Amino acid sequence: MPEMTKLTSAIDGFEFDAWHGVPTGPRKGGLVLIQEIFGLDQYMIEDAKRWVAEGYEVLVPSMFDRQERGFVADHDASGFETGRKYAGDNGIENPVADVQACVDALKQNGPVFLIGYCYGGTVAWRAAVQIADLSAAVSYYGGGVAGIADQALKCPVICNFGRKDAHIPADDVAATIKKAHPEVPVYIYENSGHGFNNDGRPDSDLADAKLARARSAALFVACGAAI
């Protein structure tokens, strides 16, 4: 059964909460999921449960616990404003350190993978640059990736963007990433906007979301996940 657990960041000794789920059948690997700016909301928990059902041991850290423990916001103007503020206040070092703590908790049992959404999509790229123990990472609609695309990666990465994303110019960002990293697949989903992994949201297309998940699963198998 999933439960909340506590992990400690090496950067400052801060103890943060993380949702933890363990598969009932064979374990394919460890997986860290990084939230959007809205916290561990229903969409993150639904996504975590999907990956647990696929055979992954999953940790979903509550990334803004330093700002407000257990923060969860609605997907509205107020939630966006608060989440964006917390993201800025959290800086660029704390998130990667918290991901490292999650990776350390999972790596003794096999390969560890990472998926990040929106805010987490940029964190995923930073983690792939800095964390040696990641086997692969997937970045979804990371608005900050283009600005750090020239950094060297320590593991394979794929990037996902929605064609209808009003916040991220998909073609421009894809071109920037491909110029720096020709080896990184950058997928643009024609029927989707920002946050398209969140099933039922206005910007989500179910076929696009399923295809992106399938590509993530294929990457993980190619990078060491048990079949």
pTM over 0.95: yes
Residue 2 has pLDDT above 80, yes or no: no
pLDDT tens digit sequence for 5-41 = 999 998 999 999 999 999 999 999 999 999 999 999 9
Domains of the chain: 3-222 (3.40.50.1820)
Does the structure show a pLDDT above 90 at 202? no
Rounded to the nearest 10°, the torsion over CA 79, 90, 125, 116 is -40
At 201 the pLDDT is 86
Q: How far apart are CA 111 and CA 181, in angstroms?
A: 23
Question: What is the rounded CA–CA span in Å between residue 76 and residue 70?
Answer: 18
